Each structure stands twice: as structure tokens, then as C-alpha cells.
Amino acid sequence: MPDPNKSLLDRLAEFLSPQPTSPSERRQELIETLREAQTEGLIDADALSMIEGVFQVGQLCARDILVPRAQIDWIDIGLALPEIVKSVIEAAHSRFPVFEGSRDNVIGILLAKDLLRHSTEKDFQVRDWLRPAVFIPESKRLSVLLRDFKDNRNHLAVVVDEYSGVAGIITIEDVLEQIVGDIEDEHDIDEEADNIISLDNGDIRVKGITELEQFNETLGTHFAPEDIETVAGLVIQHLGRVPKMGELIEIDGIEFEVQRADPRQIHILLARQISKKAD
């Protein structure tokens, strides 16, 4: 713990000189000092959150934030060109991993701008416009990955497991969100009216900040834990931690699937009745 008898400036200065304490202890002391600085109004809450995010990035690896393979919008090189164009437009991403035969056989990355710009050209072949895929292990540190993204001007990496199978993908946006928080774009849920969306397969897509009262009214549930107001809070209280992306959590007959999350908060979940899933 920081020495309360020392000024804030003195404590910050101490971090510039060698100390016998371990790096983890010094890191925690620095965070506590910065939190005190925020309390005293020397830095704002957003700045403190980003600084803490930087520390988290240094401790996390690719497996902690990757998009699981089951949630990837894949492109099969064997599909006809009209089908590929339709898939790209519907998914509305800028980059797509392309596989041949098996999803563990990623042959490249297709940029939507390349496809939409050149697909009407005579003799256009998707294979000719694939960018090289970058493969990284699940254990790769996010701090190293972010530097690689920057140095190589690459925005997406394919994450492989110890058996060389595809575990998922990770983008530069995924890494940056650990520092600055969720980055909303034109395809993200934004309006309050869209807190809860019914999908064609019967699942319910829910923003983590959705109030439990609204969730209960929509699904006919009766969640009312003390001091918990949001769906994300309900799930975190039930687990005792922030779940990882792709994790399944069952609470009183409702299965929640974490669709978007970072180590600090849940952004998007899928909810479904267990009974409906079993039918």
C-alpha cells in the first residue's frame, strides 16, 4: 500500500528509481497511486481507465480475447462468387478469413473492399485477391501483438491452438478495446431501443447494460437480485467474475452466451430458454 505520509508526487517519483519490490507489486502500487490521483481530481476517470487498460494488455494473451471459431464469419473459397458477395455484404465486416476444404485450412484473408471493387471485372477470381494470413499462438501477449499489428500494418490475425487448429481470430480493434473500452461502429447496437433484439433462430441478443426490468418484461423472467440492475451484472454476480467470450452460463432456465466481452465488462450476450434449446 502507498505510504499515506508521502505526497502523491513523491510516490510517483519513486517509480522512476530501482526498488526491491517485484514488478507485480510495483504495478499494483502505481495503480493505487493513480486511483488516488483520480480521486483528487488530478486525472479524469477516462484517463485512469485507459492506464489500467494498458496494464491489462501487458498481462493478457490472445486466448483471453479472441473471437471463437464458432463466431467467425468465414468465407469458403469453394462457393460461387455471388454467394461470397452476399455473405460479405450481410456480415458487413472489412476482413474475412478464407478457408479451403476445412476451416483449419485458412488460405488467406479477403478484404471486402477488394471484393466489392473488383468482383465485376472479367475473369475475377477471389483466390487472386487474398492477402496473406498471419497465424499466431494462443499464448501470444497482446502487448507484443499490438506492436506487430502496428509494425506490419496488419489488422487481423488467425489464432491457432497447440494442435495447429484454428481457435479463433483477433483484430487490432479487439486489442485496442482493452485500453479504450468498447469501440462502437455503424454495425454495433447503439440505440436504447435495440437493447434487446429477437433473432431468426429464436435467440435473444442483449446488450450487457440492459436493465433487468426490461429483460424480465421481454422474456417473462423474474430476475431481481439485490443491488443488481443490469443483465451483465446478473451474469457477473452469478459467476463471481467477468466471463470470457463464447462462455455459456445457465441461470434459472435461461442460457446466456457471451458474444462480446473484455476483461472488464460484458458488452453483448445471447439469451435462450433452456427448454426451447432442448426441443
pLDDT tens digit string along 107-165? Answer: 999 999 999 888 888 889 999 999 999 999 999 999 899 999 989 988 999 999 988 89
Provide the pLDDT for residue 19: 54
**pLDDT tops 80 at residue 36:** yes
When pLDDT is cut at 50, 70 and 90, the band that residue 22 belongs to is low
CATH 3.10.580.10 boundaries in the chain: 64-180
Instruction: Please report how many Cα atoms fall inside a 13 Å half-sphere around the Cα of residue 261, on the Cβ side.
Output: 27
The rounded distance, in Å, linking the Cα atoms of 122 and 138 is 40
Q: Which three cell numbers stand for residue 268?
A: 453483448
The stretch 80-91 carries a mean pLDDT of 90
Supply the CATH classification number for the domain 64-180.
Answer: 3.10.580.10
The rounded distance, in Å, linking the Cα atoms of 192 and 205 is 13
CB contact set of 248 (below 8 Å; sequence gap of 6+): 255, 256, 257, 258
When pLDDT is cut at 50, 70 and 90, the band that residue 12 belongs to is low
The rounded distance, in Å, linking the Cα atoms of 125 and 248 is 39
| Number of neighbours of residue 207 by Cβ within 10 angstroms | 24
Q: Which three cell numbers stand for residue 194?
A: 435495440
Higher pLDDT, 175 or 47: 175
CATH 3.30.465.10 boundaries in the chain: 192-278
Q: Which CATH number fits domain 192-278: 3.40.50.2300, 1.10.10.10, 3.30.465.10, 3.30.70.2740?
A: 3.30.465.10
CB contact set of 37 (below 8 Å; sequence gap of 6+): 8, 43, 48
Higher pLDDT, 111 or 186: 111
Residue 147 vs residues 14, 137, 200, 233: alpha-carbon distances, Å? 28, 15, 40, 33
> What is the pLDDT of the chain when averaged over all its residues?
83
Rg (CA), the chain: 22
